[in-house]
Amino acid sequence: MESHANEILLRWIVLVPLLGAAANGLLNRRLPKQVSGLLACGAVGVSFALSIVVFLRLAGMPVAERFLSDTVTTWIGFGRLQVDLAFALDPLNAVMALVVTGVGFLIHVYSLGYMAHDAGFQRFFAYLNLFIFAMMTLVLGENLLMLFVGWEGVGLCSYLLISFWFNDEANAAAGKKAFIVNRIGDFGFLLGMFLIGVTVLPHLGAGEGLLSFRVLQHHAGALAPAATAICLLLFLGATGKSAQIPLFIWLPDAMAGPTPVSALIHAATMVTAGVYMVARMNFLFVLSPAAMNVVAIVGAATAIFAATIALTQNDIKKVLAYSTVSQLGYMMLACGVGAFAVGIFHVMTHAFFKALLFLGSGSVIHAMSNEQDMRVMGGLRKKLPVTWWTFLVGTLALAGIFPLAGFFSKDEILWKAFSSGNQVLWAIGFVAAGLTAFYMMRLLVLTFFGENRASPEVKHHIHESPLTMTLPLVVLAVLSLVGGWVGIPHFMGGGAHFEQWLEPVFAGGHHVVEAAHGAADAAHGAAADAVHHDTTMEWILAGASLAWGILGLLLGWLVYARRLGVAEGARRLAGGFPYRLLEHKYYVDEAYEATFIRPGYRLSKTVLWKWIDAGLIDGILVNGSALVVAVVGSVVRLFQNGMVRFYAWSITVGVTVFVLYLCFSG
C-alpha cells in the first residue's frame, strides 16, 4: 500500500468535476461567463490530468497487479447487504477514464466558443461538469451499484442537457423520452443486479462487498447457473443506454440538445456506457453463449438498421446520430463475439472521430445561423477551411479508410466476427460498413460541396468558428488520424498494444469459463492459435473492407456530387415506399406510439381511473355503502318529525306497552 496517494486520487478524479458543477450551479448567473467557463474547463482538466497520473501509475505496475482501489466509505450497509462507496482502476476503466476526461475536456473548451452567447451559459457548464462527474462515477465505480449510480446520473444529465433549450417543448419532450426509454433499460439492469445479488449472497465470505466486480468475478462459478438470465437483463439496460434495438429510439431525438452535448454525451461517452458495462461484466457474459449470441445479433442488426436510416435523413445531426447508433451496434457485435477488447478499442476510436464529426457539424450549424437541414447548406468548403479539413478526416476515419483510427477498430471487429464463425454477422457488418461510407459521403457533399443554398442573409453571416472551437477540432482530427495506431494488429506487423493492455481484464473471463466448464477445451485453444498464425484470411478481409469503404465513398460522390440521379431514380422505381420507410425511420416511433403509449394512456384514464377508481371503488363500494345508510335513514327519519308531543306520545305508549308486557308475560 505504498501507493496510497494514488489511490486517493481516484475519488478526486470524480469529485473535482462535481465541485465545478456545484460552483456553477449554485452561483449561476452571479458568476461571470469567463470565470464560469474557466472553472468548468479547469475542473475537467484537473480530472484529465489526474487520470493520466493514475494511468501512468497503473502502467508502471506489473501486468498481473494492475489494480488500484479507493474505498471512501460504506454506502449501503445492512446485514449482509454491504455496498461500498468505492472507486477502482484497472486497465479497462483506465482507458475509459482517459477517453472520457480527455474528449470531455476538449468538448468543454469547444463549448466556450459554441455557447458564448447563450443566456444559460453557467447552467450549461454546471450540467456538463455534472455529467463528467456522473460518467466518471460510472467508469470508476468499484461495484455494480456504483456503476448504476453513474448510469442513472448520466441519464439525468442527458435529460437535462437535451431539454437544455426548454423553451421549445419539442426539446423538453425529447429529453423526457430519453430518460424514460433509458429507465426501461434500467428496469432490466436493476433486476439483473438483484439476480446477481441474490445468487451470490449465500456464497459471500466475510467482508466481501455484495456487488463488487472483483468479488463477483471471484464467485463467477456460483453465478454460472443464472448467467443467461443475468446477462440478458443487464443487456436490456445496455440496449437502453447504448441505443440498441429495441430501445434506440431516444438517441436521434436527443439531438435536440446543444451540439457539444451531442458530441460528448450522445456520441463519445455516455452511449458507450452500455458497451463498457458488457465488457466490465465479461466474466459473466462468457458463461452464457446464448446471451453472447443475443448481444452479437442485436449489435449487428442495429448496425445495419441504423445505417439504412442514416441514408435518407436530411438533418445533419440526425445522420450522425443514426451513424452513432450503427457504430454502437458494431461495438456490441464485438462484445457479442467475445472480442471485448476490440469493442473497447472501437469505443475509443469512435469517441475521437464521432466527437470530431459532431463538433464539426456544430461548427457548420454555428456558421449557418443554427440551420441543421443539409438541403440548404452546400459549398462550405471554402468558407470554413478548418472545419472542412477536420471533418474530412473524421469522415474518412468513420468510413474505415486506412490508416485512420476507424479502419483498425472496425476491421478488427469484422475480423473477430468472421473468425468466431459468425459469417452471417460478418456479412451484415460488412454491408453496413459500405452504407456508412456512402451516407457519410452524401453528408460531406451536401454540406461542403456545390453551391450554397441558404438565404442571402444567412449566407452573409457564414464565418469560420473561433479558435476555442477549431482547436479541439484539430486535436480530435489528429487523434482520429493516429488514434488507431495503438492497436495495429499483429498480422500487419503491429503490436496490438491496446489488446495486450486490456488482456488482464478479459483474461479473467476466460479463466472463469475454464473454471466453470471444468477442463478447458484444449482443442479449441489450439484451433484458435492456428487461426492466429494463418494471416492470409485477415489480409483478404482487411483489403476487402478497405476497398468496400472506398467504393461506398465513391458511390456517394457519384450519386450526390455528380448528380447521377440514382437516388431519385431508385425512389421512383420502388414507388417511393422503401425510401419513405427509411425517411420515417421504419415507423418505429409510430409503432410504439400506437401499441404502448396511446393504449396505455387510454387504459389508465378510462379504465383504471374513471371506471375502477371513480366508478367501481368509489362509486359503487364506498358511496354505495353510504347510499344504503342514507336509504335506511330516510325511512327511519319519518318518525323524527320534530313534533315534541308526538315524541311524548310515543314514549307514553311505548312505556305502557312495555309495562303491560312485563305484567302479563308472567
Partner 1 sequence: MEVTLTHYLVLATLLFLTGMTGFVVRRNAIVMLMCVELMLCAVNIVFVAFSRLHGDGGGHVFVLMNFAVAAAEAAIGLAILVEIFRRRRTVDVDDLKALME
Partner 2 sequence: MDFITDHILTWVTFLPLLGSLLIWTVFRRDTIARLVALGVALADFVLSLHLWFHYEPGRGDDQFIERVPWLLNGQISYHLGMDGISLVLAVLTTFLGPLVILSTWKAVKDRVPDFLGFVLFLQTAMLGTFFARDMLLFYVFWEAMLIPMYFIIGVWGGQRRIYAAVKFFIFTMVGSVFMLVGILYLYFQAGSMDLADFLAVELARGPQLWLFAAFILAFAIKVPVFPLHTWLPDAHVEAPTAGSVILAGVLLKMGTYGMVRFAMPLFPEGVAAFAPLMSILAVIGIIYGALVAMVQPDVKKLVAYSSVSHLGFVVLGLFSLTPAGVAGGVFQMLAHGLSTGALFLLVGVVYERRHTREIAEFGGLAHEMPAYATVFMIATLASIGLPGLAGFVGEFMILFGTFGSETLPHARLLTVLAATGVVLGAIYMLWMYQRVFLGKLSNEKNKGLGDLSLREFVVLVPLVVFMFWLGVRPGLVLDKIEASIERTLAPVMAPAVDNHAPQGSHALGDGADGGPVFVVRDPEKDGMNQ
Q: Report the partner that residue 507 touches, choosing among partner 2, partner 1, none (CB closer than 5 to 8 A by kind).
A: none
Q: Does 19 bind partner 2 (CB under 8 A)?
A: no
Q: Report the partner that residue 184 touches, choosing among partner 1, partner 2, none (CB closer than 5 to 8 A by kind).
A: partner 2
Q: Does 609 bind partner 2 (CB under 8 A)?
A: yes
Q: How many residues bind partner 2 (CB under 8 A)?
A: 54
Q: 10 Å Cβ neighbour count for 485? A: 15
The grid coordinates listed for 231 are 446477462
- Least separation, in Å, of the C-beta of 644 and partner 1? 4
Q: Does 643 bind partner 1 (CB under 8 A)?
A: yes
Q: Print the binding letters for residues 176-205 with partner 2: x by CB under 8 A, - otherwise.
A: x--xx--xx-xx--xx-xxx-xx--xx---
Which CB, 601 or 649, lies closer to partner 1?
Answer: 649
Q: Print the binding letters for residues 586-625 with partner 1: x by CB under 8 A, - otherwise.
A: ----------------------------------------
Compute the distance between CA of residue 186 and CA of residue 152 in angstroms, rounded to an integer: 8
Q: Report the partner that residue 163 touches, choosing among partner 1, partner 2, none (CB closer than 5 to 8 A by kind).
A: partner 2
- Exposed (0-12), middle (13-18) or buried (19+): which is 69, by Cβ within 10 Å? middle
Q: Which residues pair with 86 in a beta bridge?
A: 71
The grid coordinates listed for 260 are 457539444
The binder of partner 1 chosen from 34, 314, 423, 652 (CB under 8 A): 652
Q: 10 Å Cβ neighbour count for 536? A: 8
Q: Report the partner that residue 183 touches, choosing among partner 1, partner 2, none (CB closer than 5 to 8 A by kind).
A: partner 2
Spell out a b/e string for 40-63, using b for 16 or more CB atoms within 10 Å of the CB, else e: bbebbbbbbebbeebbebbeeeee
- Least separation, in Å, of the C-beta of 203 and partner 2? 8
**Hey, is 160 helix, strand or coil?**
helix
Residue with cell 446471451: 291
The binder of partner 2 chosen from 482, 574, 591, 603 (CB under 8 A): 603
Contact segment (CB under 8 A) with partner 1 among 156-164, 443-451, 546-554, 646-654 equals: 646-654
User: Residue 223 in contact with residue 512, Cβ under 8 Å?
Assistant: no
Which CB, 7 or 186, lies closer to partner 2?
Answer: 186
- Give residues 106-165 in contact with partner 2 (rule: CB under 8 A): 145, 148-149, 152-153, 156, 159, 163
Contact segment (CB under 8 A) with partner 2 among 88-96, 356-364, 496-504, 616-624 equals: 616-624
The binder of partner 1 chosen from 523, 644, 662, 663 (CB under 8 A): 644
- Least separation, in Å, of the C-beta of 54 and partner 2? 24
The binder of partner 1 chosen from 456, 575, 642, 666 (CB under 8 A): 642
User: Residue 133 in contact with residue 153, Cβ under 8 Å?
Assistant: yes
Contact segment (CB under 8 A) with partner 1 among 282-290, 336-344, 356-364, 644-652 equals: 644-652
- Least separation, in Å, of the C-beta of 660 and partner 1? 15
Compute the distance between CA of residue 644 and CA of residue 666 in angstroms, rounded to an integer: 34
Residue with cell 469547444: 110
Torsion, Cα of 371, 372, 378, 383 (10° steps) = 60
User: Residue 409 in contact with residue 331, Cβ under 8 Å?
Assistant: no
Task: Report H helices in 584-617.
Answer: 588-592, 598-602
The size of the chain, in residues, is 666
Q: Does 640 bind partner 1 (CB under 8 A)?
A: yes
Helix H, strand E, coil C: the string for 174-240 is HHHHHHHHHHHHHHHHHHHHHHHHHHHHHHCCCCCCCCEHHHHHHCHHHHHHHHHHHHHHHHHHHHH
Q: Report the partner that residue 621 touches, choosing among partner 2, partner 1, none (CB closer than 5 to 8 A by kind).
A: partner 2
User: Residue 407 in contact with residue 363, Cβ under 8 Å?
Assistant: no
- Least separation, in Å, of the C-beta of 155 and partner 2? 9
The binder of partner 1 chosen from 167, 370, 536, 641 (CB under 8 A): 641
The binder of partner 1 chosen from 117, 645, 661, 663 (CB under 8 A): 645
Q: Report the partner that residue 76 touches, choosing among partner 2, partner 1, none (CB closer than 5 to 8 A by kind).
A: partner 2
The amino acid at residue 118 is D
Which CB, 595 or 652, lies closer to partner 1?
Answer: 652
Q: At what angle do helices 33-59 and 121-140 cross, to 10 degrees?
A: 10
Contact segment (CB under 8 A) with partner 1 among 6-14, 108-116, 590-598, 638-646 equals: 638-646
Compute the distance between CA of residue 36 and CA of residue 21 in angstroms, rounded to an integer: 10
Phi, psi of 111 (to 5 degrees): -65, -25
The grid coordinates listed for 23 are 460552483
- Least separation, in Å, of the C-beta of 34 and partner 2? 22
Residue ranges in contact with partner 2 by CB under 8 A: 73-81, 85, 145, 148-149, 152-153, 156, 159, 163, 166-169, 171-173, 176, 179-180, 183-184, 186-187, 190-191, 193-195, 197-198, 201-202, 600-601, 603-605, 608-609, 612-613, 617-618, 621-622
Residue ranges in contact with partner 1 by CB under 8 A: 640-645, 648-649, 652
